[in-house]
Structure 1
Amino acid sequence: MTIERIAPALFVLLWSTGWIVARYAAPHADPLFFLCLRYVSAAAVFVVFCMIVRAQWPQTRAQWWHATFSGVLLHAIYLGGVWWAIAHGVPTALSGLIAALQPLLTATVAPFVVGERLSGSQKLGIGLGLVGLMIAIVPNLMALEPEQIAAATVPLIVNVVAMVAVTAGTLYQKRYLQTGDLRTIATLQYFGAFVVTAPFVLLLEDMRIVWNFEVFVALAWSVFGLSLLAIALLLYLIRRGQVSKAASLIYLVPPTVAIQAFLYFGEELPLPMIIGTLVVVLGVYLTNRKPKAPVT
């Protein structure tokens, strides 16, 4: 089994654990401060690794800028926005729904930005992904009290901005970073994320953190499981194929989170979530399957 075959499933599994990590870390650390620690740690690990393997660094100032700026979009604004929004009242289900709208935005913009053209089955797959996601999540949203939504207006806007940022970052990565060593690119991305996030920590937070077992586990997994492996897989998927295909995998994240929450925390796994997950899987399959070779 090649890395190209297992990468999508492994990416979804790893990426979805970010929600589990957020649940562990939130009571013990301010979200942006925790993310700054994550960025610094990930960058340090990548620097050491790049030195050991003698990875090639970007050769031009433009390449350094593109790598750093893509990190601002993919990490600082996206992760920072989502974590801050959840910490300030956005329900997890609603945040997941907003984040999972990325594939639709990506598919809409990609033809104009990177010249992608979607086949009929890919368009159908993206549409099915949205339908499945709505089936899975809408019942939970309808159960929320109006006061919960009203109190989270600003955090909701931040969450939407975060979704737009990761879409822009994915397209930016596809357009400007198709060449170069992904290891050094990732290093510069975390540097850019830290530089942008750190001032907001000083302005908005008290740098609160309780160094206990939960925080150590959350930070370790955030660095090695998410910042290193999951991001490496995302960059690989973007480089290897259409950004619309890579983005469609985000549809699988909220249902996968629900399954993990059921296994780890005993949270309810309702029938709509199960049905919606099956529809999402079909949609992602249609979006990512390779077209048949023409008969000659």
Structure 2
Amino acid sequence: MHPVVSSYLIPALFVWLWSTGFIGAKYGLPYAEPFTLLLLRMLITLGLLAILVRLVNTRWPGWRAAGHLAVTGVLVHGCYLGGVYYAIQDGMASGIVSLIVGLQPLVTAAVAVMLLGERVTFRQWLGLALGLVGVSLVLFEKYAGNQVGAPLSAWALLWALVALAGISLGTVYQKRFGTGADLVAGTFIQYSAAASFFAIGAFALESREVEWSLQLQLSMAWLVLGVSIGAILLLMWLIRRGAASQVASLFYLVPPVTALEAYILFGEQLGGLALAGGLVAIVGVALAVTQQKAGTGAPFKRATADE
């Protein structure tokens, strides 16, 4: 693959695909409860992946590696998606949910330092801090403009923290135990574990009623093809090639991109503060993911044993 494509275009494509997950969720949640909606999404995705498994030369991991992949699936897909969807369902503004989950790069970087021994430079910490400031500016303007002083449900906050913990720990766990697995096989195992997680939640907490409106069908199609297959395969590929803290910093770009999509699709206005925040976030990501010295390689270099 050409270095420009692998270093810049694929990360950009991932950010865009991942950001559309929030848009798809907004379209689909009125017609199904969170775990029920996610269970259907996983089952449809697994059906499509099963076809892909038959078409490509898939290498299945052993039982031990499959167990690690299942843990990653529960964390990255089960806890993260379930937490985000339930936080929104319980009344937390999507901007606040995104802001809480937006802390993920800092949490991931800290965990990666403690558990993986990754070296995070001052330049990268500065980039991560700038990214957090930028995301805060984008989401503060959106939140302050509509819901200042709105009470936050304790359950919604708990679900948002579950999402933050899931995506942060899952990224590090995947980097430590799951980078050697076949992408298609690994994703299939992860989604199978997540589907089991959602099934338990749907039968324990929900009525499992679904209104199959056209809006739900269209949102489900995009969530499956664009996000569950496209974005997740790209995420696993990026984690395999880059340090966990570098990959995590890409998530800082998701809220600004989501805000732009919301402006185009729903007419939500972007003020000067939000535009400034988006610029700060982009600068922060650039600092966090690029090398300290010119000519040392691509931002997303192949992982080595000491990372």
- Short-chain TM bin: over 0.9
| Counterpart in the other structure of 1:189 | 190
The structural deviation recorded for 1:294 is 7.9
| Counterpart in the other structure of 1:263 | 264
Q: Deviations over 1:97-124 (max 9, x none)?
A: 0010001111111111111011221111
Distance, in Å, in 1 between the alignment partners of 2:292 and 2:18 is 27
Tell me if the contact between 1:131 and 1:279 (Cα under 8 Å) persists in the aligned partners. yes
Q: Deviations over 1:187-241 (max 9, x none)?
A: 0000000111101101211112211211111111111100001001111111100
Tell me if the contact between 1:251 and 1:280 (Cα under 8 Å) persists in the aligned partners. yes
The structural deviation recorded for 1:78 is 0.7
| Counterpart in the other structure of 2:202 | 201
Q: Which runs of 5+ in 1 are unaligned?
A: none
Q: For 1:1-296, what aligned pairs fall within 5 Å after superposition?
A: 1-58=4-61, 60-143=62-145, 144-146=147-149, 148-150=150-152, 152-292=153-293
Tell me if the contact between 1:43 and 1:188 (Cα under 8 Å) persists in the aligned partners. no
Tell me if the contact between 2:111 and 2:169 (Cα under 8 Å) persists in the aligned partners. no
Match of 1:291, SS state, is coil
| Same amino acid, percent of matched pairs | 38
- TM-score scaled by length of structure 1: 0.95
Q: Which runs of 5+ in 2 are unaligned?
A: 297-307
The structural deviation recorded for 1:293 is 5.7
- Number of positions where the alignment pairs a residue of Structure 1 with one of Structure 2: 292
- What is the root-mean-square deviation of aligned Cα atoms in Å? 1.5
Distance, in Å, in 1 between the alignment partners of 2:279 and 2:294 is 28
Tell me if the contact between 1:122 and 1:287 (Cα under 8 Å) persists in the aligned partners. yes
Distance, in Å, in 1 between the alignment partners of 2:37 and 2:53 is 24
Tell me if the contact between 2:141 and 2:271 (Cα under 8 Å) persists in the aligned partners. no
Match of 1:180, SS state, is coil
Distance, in Å, in 2 between the alignment partners of 1:15 and 1:252 is 10
1:293–1:284 Cα change, 3 Å = closer
Q: Deviations over 1:72-131 (max 9, x none)?
A: 001111101110110110101100100100011111111111110112211111111011
